Structure 1
């Protein structure tokens, strides 16, 4: 962030909106004004930090407003797509959607906190959308999870989802076979389904929705119409949920 970007905020901190018209100044007046601003900043350098804070707050507010508008425009695809896993309380008064990648370290970090929030609250509807963006292992894991849901249903999917979120190590045919056998799944049927068009359609739909929402990283959460990009601590999620209920 350069002084050119910060200067408008510096001026705004101490100048009434109608008190300054740079376009109405002569070249000499603008030069003199610039010198005065430079001298003031040099004498009060901490104002730069304050101005940066003002700009960042504006940018964050603008991004939040844009994210809310995008989420509201994609309500059906987010909350009622007909194929994504729905956990927690299906009739909950708050809905949380998580875009995740099974190879994402921050998704794994968030996992126990999301589980705690959903289980302790008791009135949250939780939707999972696989978004494999971190390479081939991510794709294989997402295909396996979606195939499990299609072959064996939501309850078994949740077992696989939880296991993959806690898994440490390479995700490949061998490790998934061991995982499947350990859980007593229909291993052959699931592997046969992984390359099926139905699985590909789910993952592609999630990717298209993520692109529509300008989501480029995981985890990304949508809590009702608020979008949270990146890992969010449990206490912050609890505060957001409480705030939405108060509105």
Structure 2
């Protein structure tokens, strides 16, 4: 919804700019083509009549403007990703080292999939079956979960509790229980913690600890370095992936990572 609204606003802004430029160009052209027509009022009236007779010109101009803006954004993102991937060799040891028990799969797997997630992210929730299938089908994969709360205060609280659960070796139980709810509200976080069997007193203390705070800060720094603009985001071998992935997409990334070894 936000992206659609933003897109509409950009299109509208582009339309206003283009209309102004087109109007100035048409006025200048009409002045040049029509002898003796120097009065602005006459020129504006002629321009208005021409635009009314050719409205498709404005629509075409807005479409071209949007295409240029999109191409420019795509190019900037591609450059950012390429630059980020150059930093991966130095960052991978830290990226692939989980916080306490925030991992799944084979601890000695030959490929590590790093998943940056937010408990309020629907695309993260939609990616969970793909991760589960990958773990079932590939016994030589390790998945490291990195808490990346970017969708509000509730996400941050949930991330803190997830890391507290990781210190009790109950990360997956909490992770799955919370993602099975409709979002990281206070009630849902507490219910997930209870379902995971956490020592609640200990978890509350750990959730506010410097270690947990430092882990979340570190993950956000990773996100900045690796051109992450949202969740889920993934690191597989020397490659970065963004957005929801199905099993085929994750399996292909793992296969490519193995070929690069």
**TM-score of the superposed pair, with normalisation by structure 1:** 0.69
Residue 162 of structure 1: which of 169, 176, 194 is its match?
Answer: 176
**TM-score of the superposed pair, with normalisation by structure 2:** 0.66
CA-based RMSD: 2.7
- In the alignment, is the contact (CA less than 8 A) between 1:84 and 1:128 conserved in 2? no
- In 2, Cα distance between the equivalents of 1:170 and 1:135? 10
Residue 198 of structure 2: which of 159, 175, 185 is its match?
Answer: 185
- In the alignment, is the contact (CA less than 8 A) between 1:98 and 1:128 conserved in 2? yes
Residue 73 of structure 1: which of 83, 87, 90 is its match?
Answer: 90
> Residue 148 of structure 1 corresponds to which residue in structure 2?
165
- In 1, Cα distance between the equivalents of 2:111 and 2:151? 29
- For 1:158-194, what per-residue CA distance to the aligned partner results, in whole angstroms no more than 9, with x for missing partners? 111111222214521x332222223332112212322
Q: Which runs of 5+ in 2 are unaligned?
A: 1-63
SS of equivalent residue, structure 1 residue 238: helix
- In 2, Cα distance between the equivalents of 1:95 and 1:233? 17
> Residue 196 of structure 1 corresponds to which residue in structure 2?
209
Moved over 6 A (4+): 54-61
Call closer, same or farther: CA 1:189–1:74 in 2, change over 3 Å: same
Residue 127 of structure 2: which of 105, 110, 122 is its match?
Answer: 110
- In 1, Cα distance between the equivalents of 2:95 and 2:106? 16
> Residue 206 of structure 1 corresponds to which residue in structure 2?
219
> Residue 40 of structure 1 corresponds to which residue in structure 2?
none
Residue 219 of structure 1: which of 232, 241, 248 is its match?
Answer: 232
Residue 239 of structure 1: which of 235, 252, 259 is its match?
Answer: 252
Residue 134 of structure 1, CA deviation: 0.1
